[in-house]
Amino acid sequence: MKFAVISEVCGNLVALQAFLADVAKRNVDFILCLGNFLGFGPRPIECLNIVTGKQFRTTKGSLEFLASESAIAGPVSLSDEEWHMLLWLRNRLSENEQKKLRQLPMKLKIHLTDKGDQSLLMCHTSLEDENVNDSADNTMRIHTELGLLAKEYRQEGVNVLCLGNNSYPIFMSSRGQHVERNCDRFGQKFHLSMGHYYLINPGSIGRPPDSPLLKKDESTYAIIEADGKDVSLVYYRVRYAVELHIKELKEKKFSHAYVRQFE
């Protein structure tokens, strides 16, 4: 079985289409989407329709939760501009689209092999708290997540955790002492053994990368492949026509400050 893993489409249809064209060459069985596919971006409905298609296995992120709930309870760390964009998004979703979002799971277990003897767990931000907004991008936080994975899912054969909510790829194993930020290690194959636990973050499809090693017009994703007992991971990057995305942002009257992140 072969899986592509993506996150942070963020309503960026131009970037999503570029990814789909690139991944079509790699013969994957399914595409795993870790959430935050809606926004904040100019084409959220089109992105929703794609990532809930037959080839996708999708979990909801914080934005999908906020956009689909009838009432937002509890503290939410959004800026004034983000609140404005959230309201813009909610006003564009039909009742059926909101229902589709509410039906998406927060967590999803995926068998990597036909026998089901090795599996991964996918969710958006954290096993500890579904409302955590900060990405797992430091050694202490990742070891916490991997510890929870080992404690709660050991008996189910789950040793791979896929998390999103980040703008560059991350990889770390339970035996590692430091986070592997793979912005300069694309195309390198990592082998995932049953004796260890792994955190995989594919980076971002449609969100501007917060890394000097990635260009504004570059998306990143991962591919996990299980061939017999061998499970491997490779990160990829793909360029897209960011100027078309900027044009759509301006046409939809997104703020100058937000548009500048892509320039």
| pLDDT bracket for residue 197 (50, 70, 90) | very high
- Any idea which fold 2-260 has? Purple Acid Phosphatase; chain A, domain 2 (3.60.21)
> What's the pLDDT at 87?
86
Specify the pairing of strand 107-111 against strand 170-173: unpaired
> What's the pLDDT at 7?
97
* Distances, alpha carbon 228 to alpha carbons 1, 143, 232, 242, in Å: 9, 28, 11, 39
Taking only the tens place, the pLDDT of each residue in 144-181 is: 888 899 898 888 889 999 999 999 999 988 876 666 66
pTM of the model: 0.93
CA distance 225 to 180: 20
Q: Which two tokens stand for residue 226?
A: 């299980």
Question: Domain boundaries in the chain?
Answer: 2-260
